[in-house]
Amino acid sequence: MKLIEPRPVPLGGLRAMTVRRLLPSRDRRMVGAWCFIDHYGPDDVAVTGGMRVAPHPHTGLQTASWIFTGTIEHRDSLGTVADVRPGELNLMTAGYGINHSEYSTPDTTVLHGIQLWIALPHQDMNTAPAFENFVPEALTFDGQGSGQDASAPAPVQACVFLGSLGVAVDGQIRTGSSPVTTFSPLLGAEILVGAPGSVPGVDKNPADDAPRRTITLTLNPEYEHGFVVDTGALLIRGQQVAADEMLFIEPGTTELTIEAIGDTRLILLGGAPFGEEIAIWWNFIGRSHEGIVEARAAWNAQAESFEAVTAPAGASGTEIVTGGLLAAGQDASPGYPRFGGVVLLPGEYEEQPRTSVIPAPELPNARLKLRGD
């Protein structure tokens, strides 16, 4: 086992929203194919400005967005317009190339969630881009309810948004699974104990005398696992995991009993050891320095030539800049814009101008290194 602590990373801007990055880290690069974990909030949007990420590209990966509080609007070069809401998974496959924007909606006052990347295996790196939305069934376990004895155990809820997971609480057994497309064996789930909140500025660690709840998980012994604590704390094999920390566990575990301390929110990630070396730079994943250089050049060439097409006030649908769209399942061909067109927002977001894209920064002077697990 290895305890991983986050490092703060500002996303940029005058009122920079700061995230807590758990992967990649010095102590661990990946958990299965999970290669990037940004944990954020709860943030007061009036203070931080919320999430305001202009169109930017991705290659060689999938992004998984899971939010606890607030709403983020996602637009991409497939023409997708979708809100990221609590309890829903938005999974975007970049493959050969895609671009998208992410902005918290005007009615969002508190923003709290987690952003995840999944590395695509080498044979799938150039797959066509795609987008999926999935609302997993909530697996519920009896506990304290309105009007019941306050000493009754806290309720437990699990949502499995990738792969499958068995959960047992006080003899009650539930299994959840997800049909969402993945390119390697994966697990992703949220487990709630009690009523963890999303109040900016409030200590997310439990009181010393907080009640405890025992949960038993049925795990795939071939998987690595990462236990990310958002709120509360966990006790796993004698190791306490505090809010914002992640505990990494090597393959070999079939059944694991964990103890939640106080109101707890846990994100459980798992997957078979990836077994490949990858290069991660900016928003790209590649298998060589040259591949990253090529992706950067392709994006910046497109970014310089984009001309925004704005829809009339009140119009519905998307506004696409010059360049067109790559439909899901359509093969990219020579001469086609690798990252598709840029999708902008209509007039109701005029206070958040989106007439520009984010160019790729300068590469480091040294060659990018391939790194494994």
The annotation places the binding site for Fe cation at 56, 58, 100, 102
Give CA separation, 29 vs 117, 185, 325, in Å.
Answer: 12, 17, 33
Using CB atoms within 10 Å of the CB of residue 316, give its burial: 0 to 12 exposed, 13 to 18 middle, 19+ buried: exposed
Rounded CA separation 163/89 (Å): 13
Asked whether 74 and 65 are in contact (CB, 8 A), the reply is yes
- Smallest CA-to-CA distance from 132 within 190, 59, 74 is with 74
With H, G, I as helix, E, B as strand and everything else as coil, classify residue 213: strand
66 pairs with which residues across the strands? 114
Structure tokens at 80: 């997708």
Rounded CA separation 205/229 (Å): 10
With H, G, I as helix, E, B as strand and everything else as coil, classify residue 341: coil
| Cβ-proximal residues to 242 (8 Å cutoff; 6+ apart), any chain | 205, 229, 233
Using CB atoms within 10 Å of the CB of residue 259, give its burial: 0 to 12 exposed, 13 to 18 middle, 19+ buried: middle
Structure tokens at 313: 């006030």
Asked whether 234 and 266 are in contact (CB, 8 A), the reply is yes
- Which residues are documented as binding site? 56, 58, 100, 102
Using CB atoms within 10 Å of the CB of residue 28, give its burial: 0 to 12 exposed, 13 to 18 middle, 19+ buried: middle
